Structure 1
Amino acid sequence: MDTERLLGKVAQGDEEALAALYDQTLNRLWGVTMRMVADPEAAQEIVSDSYLQIWNQAGRFDPSRGSGIGWMLMIARSRAIDHLRRERGWRQHQALDTVDENPRMSASTSTDDTRDDPESLLASLQSATALHHALATLDNRAHRLLGLAFFNGMTHAEIASHTGEPLGTIKSCIRRTQLQLREILRRH
């Protein structure tokens, strides 16, 4: 049975449909989540939370707005992004605590994990700011297509189906947008 029909049954409270949906889609959700968080324990929790949200919100799925798997992947990606934000916030907080406790900490006393030192945090913040500025230069269409591809986890074919545009047009627009962003970031 296809994902959309299973989601319809899940929306009606059909536990067997949820089990079938889980069996059918677990590998995709797990793969996207693991690529994002690279931590099996966190990925397991995120995927579990995603299926709980799918169970609770299956009635909100609208097949006219995209595929069932695309909707489910969007949920998993959102949960993974939430996890990464919490994790990043915790790391930044820990790094600031370390600086406050030991303001004279030198490179010779730092650990092998330099992601939490103030210079790395500043570099990360500057990179994120540069990326936000670069994204702000995009027109609405390019921004939307990039979002569907990278934040919703949709394939080029799924985006073409979702937007009604030809596959070649989608591929070339996303590629041009990536090159445009790369050039803006290179100049920055």
Structure 2
Amino acid sequence: MDPRNPDSAGVPTQGAPAESGGPKDAIAEQLRLSARGDRDAFADLYDATARRIHGLVVRVVRDRTQAEEVTQEVYLEIWRTAGRFDPDRSSGIAWLMTIAHRKAVDRVRSAEASSTRDTTYHRQNHVVDHDVTAETVEASLEARRVRAALDHLTDVQREAIDLAYFGGYTHTEVASLLDLPVGTAKTRIRDGLIRLRDTIGVGR
């Protein structure tokens, strides 16, 4: 994620220890400026807190790849909702950590729910033994095709698809995270899925 372009994706690689709250809460000031669209302030905020936020997410999610994705979502929400921060109610870092913890827990719950659904489905529909190795290879190839096809989407379509189908969020949640009307979020997801279908179909 390029902190000077908060709507882009990336992985936190830098970050000095974040300042704690206090009468001169630097993070609170960076949030205030970010809420006004100051990208330099947001970049400073990212540099100051990325290591700590990512560390919290890793501890909850326990998977570094997913933790990187969740951390991106955290900073996207921070950029979108910085105006909601109230310095009279909490310190800047506490507000950020609350968002990060909530996002991480949501990802864990989503993964657990998906795993439970898959297990239940296979138990209910298992009839005969099948070639697990062949099935695994086919699933891996399919996932690779989907990932390649994502490159053909527009940035806004890919962002919505990532949240809805790789992040496990509902259309309403995607709309909230991207600060969009629900109808617009649904349109981006629908158009992205159509393009994915067409791209994967051509590649087969």
Name the TM tier (shorter chain).
0.5 to 0.7
1:64 aligned counterpart, secondary structure:
coil
Equivalent residues in 2 for 1:1-188 (5 A)? 2-102=26-126
Report the structure number with the largest CA radius of gyration: 1
Cα displacement string for residues 94-152 of structure 1 (whole angstroms, at most 9, x for unaligned residues):
110121133899xxxxxxxxxxxxxxxxxxxxxxxxxxxxxxxxxxxxxxxxxxxxxxx
State how far apart, in whole Å, the 1-side matches of 2:127 and 2:34 are.
55
State how far apart, in whole Å, the 2-side matches of 1:78 and 1:70 are.
12
Determine what percentage of the aligned residue pairs are the same residue: 35
Cα displacement string for residues 9-66 of structure 1 (whole angstroms, at most 9, x for unaligned residues):
1011000001000000011100100000111111111111111110111010001111
Moved over 4 A (4+): none
State how far apart, in whole Å, the 1-side matches of 2:66 and 2:27 are.
25
Cα RMSD for the two superposed structures: 1.8
Aligned residue-pair number: 105
State how far apart, in whole Å, the 2-side matches of 1:76 and 1:44 are.
12
TM-score by length of 2: 0.49
State how far apart, in whole Å, the 1-side matches of 2:78 and 2:114 are.
27
State how far apart, in whole Å, the 2-side matches of 1:103 and 1:92 are.
19
State how far apart, in whole Å, the 2-side matches of 1:104 and 1:66 are.
57
- Which consecutive residues of structure 2, in runs of 5 or more, have no partner in the other structure? 1-24, 130-204
State how far apart, in whole Å, the 1-side matches of 2:127 and 2:88 are.
56
**Relative to total residues, which structure has the larger helix share, 1 or 2?**
1
State how far apart, in whole Å, the 1-side matches of 2:41 and 2:72 are.
16
In structure 2, the CA distance between the partners of 1:64 and 1:103, relative to structure 1 (3 Å rule), is farther
Cα displacement string for residues 43-91 of structure 1 (whole angstroms, at most 9, x for unaligned residues):
1111111111101110100011111111011111111111111101100
State how far apart, in whole Å, the 1-side matches of 2:30 and 2:111 are.
33
Q: Residue 154 of structure 1 aligns with which residue?
A: none
